[in-house]
Amino acid sequence: MANDWCWPYWPVVPLYPYGQRRTLIREVVVTILQAARLTMANDWRWPYWPVVPLYPYGQRRTLIREVVPETIWVFEQVQGIFYVVVPIRMTVIRLAAGGLLVYAPLAPTPECLRLLRQLEAEYGVVQAIVQPTVTGIEHKVFVGPFARQCPQATVYVAPYQWSFPVNLPLSWLGLPRQRTQVLNDPADYPHTDEFDWALLGPISLNVGPFAELTLCHRATDTLLVTDSLVSISATPPAVLELDPLPLLFHGRDQASEDLEDTPERRQRGWQRIVLFGLYFRPGDLEVLPLGKVWRLAQGAPSRRPATDWRSARQAYFGLLPWQWRPGWQAAFERASAAEAVRVAPILATVIFNRQPEAIQRWLETIQQWSFTQVIPAHFSAPVAATPEVVAAALSDPPPDAAADLSVLQRINRLLVGGERSPQDPLLG
């Protein structure tokens, strides 16, 4: 009867939440104002997030790690959907003649740019930006805004670019027209005194081709790839631990658990995020009926009056529409086996299976290179691997369970039977 939300006349029409009623409008306004203030004011702001609206939306933190002393740095942010967040990475390499090369740029937040400027002050400004992917919209979206922050850089773009639903020219995607070069011809590859270049693909997907520019930095024996290879760490990556909310959300077994931060919950959360990220709907996930989800949400801590609006929103108001079957960890053990380099299941099941000869051509090229580590744009990096190890990973992918692959196989069947698009130049 004493607090801010009391409604003593509730017995007249006895509906939930009875004597405790919060005023939603005030909570919503406060949340919007807080978000607006944060977006405008702080170091992590990324105002263009509505273009590709992925978590963490307008607030992106950046972690920098030096991979090879005074030569290679990785910048990491996180990105995902419904708290299924994975690291996304750009790699910065110091050029022998001075200046920097940037592979697969990230969101140029004030923090990201400040870290980059520190490298530029020491080693020279960014000379080259590589936009390596054709299909990876989660990378392409940053290239235009990033390039505008590096006015002396040339932007090198993988060939076979297309966009959906309308095939827009690159300048419409924000790339600076005067400084952009599409690498249609291997003879145009830049900085060949330091780098070997190879295009993985093109591989026809019916809607448009897949292709990815890969680079080998000879001085450090380092291979750069975007999406084609990954390595899954046994424990959560450091960049995910900066804000552990997604780990804690997925680390719960049921909606009635709160988001208390414990190492065990972070670890479980990471394992489940990996399974969602790799398989979309892992085999050991049981999707609950809507009625049950609603009932469980009523008992969730985020529904209790003591919880503030922000915490409730963070926990999706207690909605957790699945539960994990016993033994689900086995899929994670397989996916992260030895933390070795591997092909992500979506690429193995939906893309690389279409044109093995394109993969073979790429493998024959990289077999002539000498590298001992790979830096992919997602999950762990760097990962120890030679050309032989990469060849083995591509020719003999890890045995994913059939139940884990069912959604990916459905996507594959849809693409195989899909309409052929004139956007795909590989199809006559």
By CB under 5 A, name the binding residues for Fe ion.
136, 227
Pick from 378, 252, 253, 375: which is nearest to 326 by CA? 253
CA 351 distance to own-chain centroid = 18
d(CA 12, CA 310) in angstroms, rounded, equals 31
Q: How far is the CB of 130 from Fe ion (least distance, A)?
A: 14
- Tell me the DSSP string of 279-337: HSS-TTEEEPPHHHHHHHHHTSGGGSTTS-HHHHHHTGGG---EEEPTTTHHHHHHHTG
Which residues is 210 bridged to in the sheet?
203
Would you say 136 or 209 has its CB closer to Fe ion? 136
Q: How far is the CB of 327 from Fe ion (least distance, A)?
A: 30
Would you say 160 or 328 has its CB closer to Fe ion? 160
> Rounded to a whole number, what is the largest CA-CA distance in the chain?
82
Would you say 140 or 217 has its CB closer to Fe ion? 140
Would you say 279 or 324 has its CB closer to Fe ion? 279
Would you say 194 or 227 has its CB closer to Fe ion? 227
24: number of Cβ within 10 Å: 9
The one-letter amino acid at 290: L
Would you say 136 or 318 has its CB closer to Fe ion? 136
Q: Helix, strand, or coil here: 163?
A: coil
Q: How far is the CB of 404 from Fe ion (least distance, A)?
A: 20
Q: What phi and psi values does residue 241 have, to the nearest 5 degrees? A: -85, -10
Q: What phi and psi values does residue 137 have, to the nearest 5 degrees? A: -60, -30
d(CA 89, CA 106) in angstroms, rounded, equals 7
Q: How far is the CB of 87 from Fe ion (least distance, A)?
A: 10
Would you say 136 or 283 has its CB closer to Fe ion? 136
d(CA 391, CA 364) in angstroms, rounded, equals 9
Would you say 86 or 155 has its CB closer to Fe ion? 86
Which residues is 212 bridged to in the sheet?
133, 200
CB 427 within 8 A of CB 420: yes
d(CA 62, CA 88) in angstroms, rounded, equals 10
In 289-349, where do the E strands start and end?
Answer: 322-324, 341-342
